[in-house]
A = this chain, B = another copy of it.
Amino acid sequence: MHLSQAFETYLPLIEAEIRAVLEPAATPARGHYDIMQYHMGWRDAQLRPVQARGGKRIRPMLCVLAAAATGADPRCALPAAAGLELLHNFSLLHDDIEDGSPTRRHRPTAWVLFGMPIACNAGDGMFSLAHLAFFRLAEQGTPADRLLAALRRFDETCLALTEGQFLDMSFEARLDVTVADYFTMIAGKTGALLAAAPELGALIAGAMPDAVAAYHEYGAQLGRAFQLQDDILGIWGDETVTGKSAAGDILSKKKTLPVLHALNHPAVGPRLAALYAGPAFTSADAPAVLALLEEAAARRVAEEHVRRATAAAHAALARARPSAEPVAHALLAELLDSLVGRQS
């Protein structure tokens, strides 16, 4: 089985599970769920059913594949997979409000269409439903102590997400952010949920504690590599491939790893800091910033971090191997490489 076949096999099951959680019984608050379904890409701006493109469902796939790699029927992890995807989407809904983002997946964000109060409350509803998704595990026979352990890790993940978002927002106003600060921030904002996804899949499937910890580490390192690749594409990505404007993260003065590396570089730092402390950038400013990043070898350093995180993820996967089913295991390795190697 190749990765594309795995997506073909599992995505319909994942989608059905998410829909089962997000489809309410008859309720006068029907509109509350319609807003959530708009955000998921299932309804248009008039809240009519539609099939828009949703997310890539990376987190639920990691969860289901880790359950399969443990040797269990991967369907046992579907409720957790749905909960993880709903948590991810809840955080995007609130991030869009907090960052004032006007578009998401080529559509207006929920707060732009329905107002901030209604969208914020819809996010809280989705947060609740992400939790309720897990109780479908009890109905299919997951032991109570295992389900409790999964829920506890899930809530710790929720909290880590908000810590990461807090740090990310607080970085905007600071010029003294270190590379270590940055790694702490992305470990919360990106890494926590990508680590929890395979970890919870393995946990629910009954993997031994060592293997559960190894899948956590695999996801955490995958998250780091994934975010760093995002940072690289945000500066040097091919506009025609990414669909985003060239050097977009430079123009918005986003404090991603390459920039922070250069800001903390003894020779380059002061000159770059002077530019970042000045007025908003226009596209005319990009060449000067890019030249300073080049002087600090920022791209090479970022790519080296990607390589190291990817190797650490593969090593963690190898540690989980003794208890693993080989096909699913190979798919987890393939998913890692495809995410790190992506150009958009």
Interface residue A159 (Cβ < 8 Å from any Cβ of B): yes
Establish whether residues A166 and B128, one from each chain, have CB atoms under 8 Å apart when the complex forms. Answer: no
**Please, which residues of chain B bring their CB within 8 A of the CB of A128?**
155, 158-159, 162
Establish whether residues B166 and A29, one from each chain, have CB atoms under 8 Å apart when the complex forms. Answer: yes
Establish whether residues A98 and B125, one from each chain, have CB atoms under 8 Å apart when the complex forms. Answer: no
Highest count of chain B CB atoms <10 Å: which of A91, A151, A164:
A151
A88-103 CB contacts (< 8 Å) to partner B: 91, 94, 97-99
**Please, which residues of chain B bring their CB within 8 A of the CB of A167?**
28-29
**Please, which residues of chain B bring their CB within 8 A of the CB of A144?**
144-145, 148
Copies per assembly: 2
Interface residue A138 (Cβ < 8 Å from any Cβ of B): yes
**Please, which residues of chain B bring their CB within 8 A of the CB of A120?**
94, 97-98, 120
User: A147–B151 Cα gap in the complex (Å)?
Assistant: 11
Known: A147-B148, A181-B28. A116 touches B132 (CB 8 A): no
- List 7 A-B pairs, Cβ < 8 Å: A31-B170, A32-B166, A118-B166, A120-B120, A124-B161, A125-B166, A129-B159
User: A181–B27 Cα gap in the complex (Å)?
Assistant: 11
Closest to A100 in B: B117
Closest to A168 in B: B121
Give A contacts to B, CB under 8 Å. Answer: 27-29, 31-32, 91, 94, 97-99, 116-118, 120-122, 124-125, 127-129, 131-132, 135, 138, 144-145, 147-148, 151-152, 155-156, 158-159, 161-167, 169-170, 181, 184, 188
Q: A27-B163, A32-B162, A98-B120 are in contact. List 20 more A-B contacts (CB 8 A).
A: A28-B167, A29-B166, A94-B120, A97-B116, A97-B117, A98-B121, A121-B169, A122-B162, A124-B127, A124-B158, A124-B161, A124-B165, A127-B158, A128-B158, A128-B162, A131-B151, A132-B152, A132-B155, A135-B152, A147-B148
Known: A94-B124, A148-B147. A31 touches B166 (CB 8 A): yes
User: A97–B132 Cα gap in the complex (Å)?
Assistant: 25
Establish whether residues B127 and A127, one from each chain, have CB atoms under 8 Å apart when the complex forms. Answer: yes
User: A176–B27 Cα gap in the complex (Å)?
Assistant: 17
Establish whether residues A125 and B163, one from each chain, have CB atoms under 8 Å apart when the complex forms. Answer: yes
Pick the contact of A118 from B125, B163, B169, B188 — CB < 8 Å? B169
Q: How far is the CB of A192 from chain B (nearest CB, A)?
A: 11
Highest count of chain B CB atoms <10 Å: which of A29, A94, A147:
A29
Closest to A162 in B: B125
User: A234–B262 Cα gap in the complex (Å)?
Assistant: 59
**Please, which residues of chain B bring their CB within 8 A of the CB of A131?**
131, 151, 155, 158
